[in-house]
Structures are given as structure tokens and as C-alpha cells.
Structure 1
Amino acid sequence: MLPLSFHIGSLGILLTLAATPTVYAATPTPSSASSSSSGVGYGACRTEIDWIAWKEQREFRSVLFGQTAAEKALVSEVRFANEDKSIWIKTQVATSSMSSSPAKPDIWESVAEGYKSTTWTDTDMEDATDIVPRKGIFAVRRRLPTELIPHLAQAYRTLECRLENLCRLVQISTNIKDSDAQDVTVKILGCLDVETQTLPACHLPSVQGTLPTQGNMWAYCMAMTESLRVREAQILKLVVEYDSGYRSGLQFSGIFRAFLGQMRGVVLGSMRSATTMITAFSRVPCFIAACDDSPDGS
């Protein structure tokens, strides 16, 4: 039987391979390439859609598995800055000063443009991150798998609503002629109404020379988010199966341990009492002839 560490490592590899959302590559037209440099156009709109969908995926993962605080993060953990979308990785964990070496602080580094020679501390990372630290659903202990199912289903349903909200927002934004963000209310059947602002990068009518036939951002968003939903559902199914088996094993081991404790106290205690009682029989006087010593043969 393979050790538990092997299964945990295998699960981590699967989750790592599925960490990046699906992005449908498309060759930009000349007009979209030129307009994306100014922040509005098909290229810029696709980039904005991908980033928001990726953030929704990471938000969903944090609800399931939790998000550790920057100061508790281990080396090689990754965080994303919400303001400029830069990606950071922890390269050093703080250590206390010793006689042989000085104290070392926590260090976060990035290869993003403009940050290659910049280092951040845990405080900087906490202020800039787009996902707040939280405890995940699977981190809850002393609960049966069936008790977690309603919370997992609600989390997945929330992901569906937020992705559907994104595509509806893209559909609204592509019809805005003004270059500034507009306040809108996005209504999705079965989901809460969301008051938000349109995506200026997707205000395609505000760019001179663009034509509706050059691309369909709403169709792109629907195809990409559908692929994302399907993959997250498959990963969630895998994790629930693993977690259920792990929790069932812990439950069985606890029951078996309690059984052994009862066996020691009841069964072995009864046998010990029986032995003591049989030993006490030797002190009972005998009043029958069979108890007399047999006569000597002499």
C-alpha cells in the first residue's frame, strides 16, 4: 500500500497542472492590435476577460483549500497583485539571528516588468494581494464528508454565477460607446443582482475603425468560462473522492481505536478477574472423600 504522502503529492501535482485557466488563442487583427496598445480593443478585452476569469478561479480555489497569510507562506508560494496584475513568488522565509548567521527577512520577488529588481515584504504582499487569507472548506476537521457537500455545492454554484456575470458584463460593455466605465446592474437568473461597472477595455464602439464582425467577445467569454467550469467540476469531484476516503479512513481508525480500548477494559479485565477468582478457589476447604490424599502404596 502506498504511503499517504505519495497520495498527497500526487493530488498536489494534479491541482498544479490544472491551475491555469483555459485561454483560447486568437490571432489579433491589425485594428485590435493597434487598439489594445491604448487599452481598448479586442486584444485588451480578451486580456481583461482572462484575468477576471483567472481571479474567479483562484477565489474559488481559496474557498475550497484556503489561503495562507503572506507571513505563513512557504518558499515558492505564489501571490498576485490586484492593482497591476503582477505575479510574485516567495523566495526566502524569515529566520532569527544566530551566532553564525544574521537574521533574514521574508522576501517576495517578481519577474514582471518594472519589478525585476524589487523585493516585497510580507506586509507589502498582504496589502497588494487580490485574495484575502481564509480557511478552506476542506480544512474543517471532525466533520463527515456529507456535512461538507452543501458548502461545496454552494461554492461551485457561486463560481458559476460569477462567471456568468462576467460574460453578461462583457456583453453589456461591448455596446458602450463612451470610453469611461458606466455603472450597471447585472442580472442573472438564479443569481443575485450585482451592481458593478462596465469594462472600459471592452468598449469596442468607442474605438475608431473597429467593426462588430472582427470578433465576438461574448462568445469567447462563454466558451472560455464553460471550459473553466467543466474542469473545476472535474477537479472538485477528484478532491471530494480523495477527501471522503481520507476522512473515512480516519473515522475507521478512530472507531477501531475505541474498540481496542473497550476490549482492553472489558474483555481483558474480565479474563483477569476470572483468573483471580479461580486462584481464590484453592483456598476453599474440601469436604468430600475425593479431596483426600490418596493412601500410600506401602
Structure 2
Amino acid sequence: MKQTLLLLFLIALLMPPQIAKAESGECRQRVNTEIGRELRLYRNVLFGKPRAENAPVGEVRYDTEGWAWIKTDAESLPWRNSVADQQGLEWSDTVMDEQDEHAESLPLVGIFETKRMTTSELIPYLLQSIRALECRAMSYCNIARASESFDKDDGAQDIGSVQLLGCIEFTDLESFPECHLGGETPLLLDQADGRGYCNEMVTQTIQRERELLKLVVEYDAGFRSLLQFAGNFDIFLKEMRWPLANTVRQAVELIGKLERIPCFVSSCDSSPAIKDE
């Protein structure tokens, strides 16, 4: 019995201390949530976001808690929660606008919805938008990195400001409690996992959005060029309608008057004579 207790005691000494700590998966999820919100805002800046009542059926929107809502064809409560355990929740258009994650900017007119401008005139605004997305996304990686030094049992802590190279300064920032890794033992593996994941995800996301933006710009340029050509051609037809019609009408009248002109050439008498019946 004593040998058994001694063996268990030695095993307990060899085992690492079990402490409650923030899992790297929770930190990843928090980073995904924040960057996903910024990505949706970026696309709303590009393509616009109408009020809930004008949204098409099947559109998905997110509330301030990060829950996804999909619009159905119901009349009174068209918005339904898409979370598996909360699919019974339904919202009206008014409630959806109030609880929308971008409620303060609704309705939002997108850059590509701008009229009477060529695509080349929109390029500066598009570049500014994709750069803003990159700055804001990378700032979340810095926030997650700054959160690692706080104790795991603490709530959100004030971390001051973050400024990246070529970006404006982000102030009044708070840490992510899910990324608090401070404790009695260093959690180097979780730190490396969180930092590597965030930087790599942001890099791949920005690269993908740049390629998509190139594709959209090419499509928009062709579409606007076609509209411009169609508009100019329509103006041309309107301007040429009456002059062309008047010219044809005058030509018809002129042909009708040609029979009054006497013929003084020999070919006029070469036609067969009209027989009297």
C-alpha cells in the first residue's frame, strides 16, 4: 500500500501543473470573428448595404453578437437565426436594422454604386478601402499579441493604442480575454500558434481580396464602358432621327417631282408606244 502511494506521489510530481488557461482555439475564434466583421464592412463599402426591408430573400446579415441571420419570404418576421440551436428566433426588418453589426452606417451606398463616374475615377477610393482593410486586420493581430501578457483570469484590459507602418493610429483598444496567456508557466506553443495563425490568415485574406478586387474592377470597367457607348449611341440616334427622316422625306418628294421634267434625249422615244384600246 505504501509503495503504491509513493508511486502515485512520484507520478504527480513528474506531471506538469494543471492550470486553467486560454485555449489557442478560443483565441483563433475571437480573431476570426473580429476580422470577419471587418471583411464584411469592407465589402459593404464596395457594394453597398441597403436597409433590411430592401434586402433580397436569402441575404445573410450578422448582429452585434456575431450571430448570422438569413432573410426568408415571410412578411411580418422575415429574418431567421441560422444558428442550429436558435433557429426558432425571428426578427422583423426594423429589429434587424437596429441589431445589425453596422447599424450606424445603414443604408450604405457602395463605391461601385456610384453613378456618372468612370472606373478609373473610382480607383483611388478602392485602393484606400483595401488598404484600410489590411491595416484594421493587422491591428487585430497586434491586439491578440498584446493580450498574451495578461493573466488568464483577467477580463478585457486597456492596451492603449496600436499603430502599424503606413496606417493611422488605433486608440482606446482593449485586449481579447480569449488570448490571455499569462500564468505561472510560459505558454510558448500557444503564443507561436496564435501569432503564426493570425499573420498567415490576414496575409491570405488580403491576397484573395486583392485578386477579387481586380476581377470586379475589370467587370465594372467593361460594364461602364458599355453603358457609356450605349448612352452615346442613343443620343446619336435621337439627334439624327429628325434630320435623317427629313432627308428621306425630301428625297421621296424629289423623286415624285422628276416625272414633270421633260425628256430631251432619244432614249425617251425608245420605249414601246401605248396602244389605244
* Bin of the TM-score, shorter chain as denominator length: 0.7 to 0.9
Match of 2:213 in 1: 236
Matches within 5 A, 1:32-71: 35=21, 40-71=22-53
Give CA-to-partner distance per residue, 1:245-289, whole Å, 9 cap, x none: 1111111111222222233222332333344456567779x8x98
Match of 1:245 in 2: 222
List alignment gaps of at least 5 residues for structure 1: 1-30, 95-104
Match of 1:85 in 2: 66
Give CA-to-partner distance per residue, 1:122-176, whole Å, 9 cap, x none: 2221122112431111112222111211111111111111112111222222223
Structure 1 residue matching 2:27: 3-state secondary structure? helix
Match of 1:14 in 2: none
Q: Identity of counterpart residues, as a percentage?
A: 34
- Letter of the structure 2 residue corresponding to residue 233 of structure 1: R
Match of 2:83 in 1: 112
Describe the shift of the 1:115–1:262 C-alpha distance in structure 2 as closer, same or farther (beyond 3 A): same
Match of 1:181 in 2: 157
- Letter of the structure 1 residue corresponding to residue 46 of structure 2: L
Q: Within 2, Cα distance between the matches of 1:268 and 1:179?
A: 80
CA-based RMSD of the aligned residues comes to 2.9
Residues 184-193 or 131-140, more deviating: 131-140
Q: Does the Cα contact within 8 Å between 1:41 and 1:203 map onto a contact in 2?
A: no
Describe the shift of the 1:274–1:77 C-alpha distance in structure 2 as closer, same or farther (beyond 3 A): same
Match of 1:19 in 2: none
What TM-score do the two structures reach when normalised by structure 1?
0.72
Mapped pair 1:267 → 2:244: yes
Match of 2:14 in 1: none
Mapped pair 1:170 → 2:147: no
Structure 2 residue matching 1:164: 3-state secondary structure? helix
Mapped pair 1:131 → 2:115: no
Describe the shift of the 1:116–1:148 C-alpha distance in structure 2 as closer, same or farther (beyond 3 A): same
Describe the shift of the 1:252–1:289 C-alpha distance in structure 2 as closer, same or farther (beyond 3 A): closer
Structure 1 residue matching 2:161: 3-state secondary structure? strand
Match of 2:166 in 1: 190
Describe the shift of the 1:289–1:251 C-alpha distance in structure 2 as closer, same or farther (beyond 3 A): closer
Give CA-to-partner distance per residue, 1:202-250, whole Å, 9 cap, x none: 1211x45551233422221110000000111111111111111111111
Give CA-to-partner distance per residue, 1:17-73, whole Å, 9 cap, x none: xxxxxxxxxxxxxx89x64xxxx3322111110111111111111011111211222
Q: Within 2, Cα distance between the matches of 1:150 and 1:239?
A: 15
Structure 1 residue matching 2:86: 3-state secondary structure? coil
Structure 2 residue matching 1:225: 3-state secondary structure? helix
Q: Within 2, Cα distance between the matches of 1:278 and 1:71?
A: 63
Describe the shift of the 1:87–1:208 C-alpha distance in structure 2 as closer, same or farther (beyond 3 A): farther
Q: Does the Cα contact within 8 Å between 1:167 and 1:222 map onto a contact in 2?
A: yes
Q: Within 1, Cα distance between the matches of 2:138 and 2:187?
A: 25
Q: Within 1, Cα distance between the matches of 2:264 and 2:206?
A: 91
| Residue 79 (structure 1) shift | 1.1
Describe the shift of the 1:226–1:219 C-alpha distance in structure 2 as closer, same or farther (beyond 3 A): same
List alignment gaps of at least 5 residues for structure 2: 1-17
Q: Does the Cα contact within 8 Å between 2:71 and 2:79 map onto a contact in 1?
A: yes
- Letter of the structure 2 residue corresponding to residue 124 of structure 1: V
Q: Does the Cα contact within 8 Å between 2:52 and 2:94 map onto a contact in 1?
A: yes
Match of 2:125 in 1: 151
Match of 2:233 in 1: 256
Structure 1 residue matching 2:72: 3-state secondary structure? strand
Q: Within 2, Cα distance between the matches of 1:208 and 1:270?
A: 96
Describe the shift of the 1:64–1:289 C-alpha distance in structure 2 as closer, same or farther (beyond 3 A): closer
- Letter of the structure 1 residue corresponding to residue 99 of structure 2: A
- Letter of the structure 2 residue corresponding to residue 62 of structure 1: N
